Amino acid sequence: MQRKQGFTLVELLVVMAIIAILLGLLLPALNKARATARQVKDATQVGQVHKGWLTKAVDNAQGNFPLPGEINRLAFNGAQIPGRGNVDETKNSHASLLSYSVMQSLVSPKVLVSTGEVSGRVVECSNYDYSKYKPTTDVYWDDVNFKTDLQGVCNTSYATMPLECTARRQREWKSSSNSKFAILSNRGVINGLLDNSYATSKTLEIHGGKNEWEGNVVYNDNHTSFIRTFLPEGTSLIGSGATAVPDNIFASQATNKSDIFLTITSAAAACGTNHTYEWD
């Protein structure tokens, strides 16, 4: 009698073992490839946001980026008149800035959320209301649905230069082509400190794998760098001469308001008063 052809149990177990070994060898490489792809796409998104502001700067005589308080100004002679009146500094939050950027189609809500996002509080603004734009009633962006509150709901992953009325804004909130000034990045830990807040920050998981912060940073000439430090080489220094020191891009230098400082602000304030900074 002819014997039926087939695999024995031992042969099947050997094949399964070989497959398991191959998967064990390939999965780390696949995970690394996925992480690299997320990081590269994230770098593209950061650059897109900045390019949107550069596009809008062309329409401004001074080459400035959009400034919410300059768009939605204080009353002029007792009336709200587009383009007239003093800058309303209390409008200069990142929620207003990014909501206006979406309203003007400079970016999409999806682009404002990193491909590596790990926080459940940071989500795309899927209910953005484009119908709110009505200059006749002094409304220029969706100020209800778009938020930048990392303790509640935040519709962006990215840290941006604060829009306070300082030398920093005067010098760099414009198309300056300054390759040494960081203007936008993946958000970092509170005040750029290497303390307990660093070790527990969700931002380490975005690209760094829980142990080390890594992120994409875009400079004012629109070049992007992937870095692992809060004091990147090639940025502007704090101070001058022998006293010059590297600039921590996530720390505000109280005595030097022209330094680089990247954060998320949920609320703006009057000139001379700090905005409300958000960290996770």
In a domain, 114, yes or no: yes
Edge-to-edge strand list for the sheet holding 215-219? 158-160, 182-186, 215-219, 224-227
Q: What residue numbers bound the domain in which 211 lies?
A: 38-278
In a domain, 24, yes or no: no
Q: How far is Cα 65 from Cα 98, in angstroms, rounded to an integer?
A: 12
In a domain, 214, yes or no: yes
Q: How far is Cα 278 from Cα 148, in angstroms, rounded to an integer?
A: 8
**What pLDDT shows up at residue 192?**
92
Q: Report pLDDT digits (tens) over 209-226.
A: 788 999 999 999 999 999
**What pLDDT shows up at residue 239?**
80
**Helix H or strand E encompassing 138:** none
In a domain, 3, yes or no: no
Token pair 């207003």: residue: 96
- Token code pair at residue 55: 């596009």
In a domain, 186, yes or no: yes
Assess contact for 184 and 43: CB atoms under 8 A: no
User: What three-state secondary structure class fits 248?
Assistant: coil
Kindly list the averaged pLDDT for each block of 10 residues, start to end, along the chain of length 280. 65 81 75 86 97 95 95 86 90 98 97 96 97 94 97 97 92 95 96 90 90 95 95 88 88 77 96 92
Task: Give, to the nearest 10 degrees, the angle between helix 9-57 and helix 94-103.
Answer: 90
Q: How far is Cα 179 from Cα 217, in angstroms, rounded to an integer?
A: 11
Identity of residue 260: I
User: What three-state secondary structure class fits 245?
Assistant: strand
**What pLDDT shows up at residue 64?**
96
Distances in whole angstroms, Cα of residue 100 to Cα of each of 23, 83, 103, 106, 264: 47, 15, 5, 9, 16
Q: Report pLDDT digits (tens) over 101-110.
A: 999 999 999 9
**What pLDDT shows up at residue 171?**
92
Distances in whole angstroms, Cα of residue 143 to Cα of each of 64, 83, 93: 22, 19, 11
Assess contact for 43 and 216: CB atoms under 8 A: yes
Q: How far is Cα 276 from Cα 94, in angstroms, rounded to an integer?
A: 10
pTM here is 0.88
101 Cβ neighbours under 8 A, 6+ residues apart: 49, 52, 53, 66, 107
Assess contact for 160 and 94: CB atoms under 8 A: yes
Cross-strand bridge partners of residue 159 = 185
Distances in whole angstroms, Cα of residue 99 to Cα of each of 75, 111, 127, 148, 165: 22, 12, 12, 10, 20
In a domain, 148, yes or no: yes
Q: Report pLDDT digits (tens) over 124-151.
A: 999 999 999 999 899 999 999 999 999 9
In a domain, 134, yes or no: yes
Q: How many structural domains does the chain have?
A: 1
In a domain, 42, yes or no: yes
Cross-strand bridge partners of residue 216 = 226
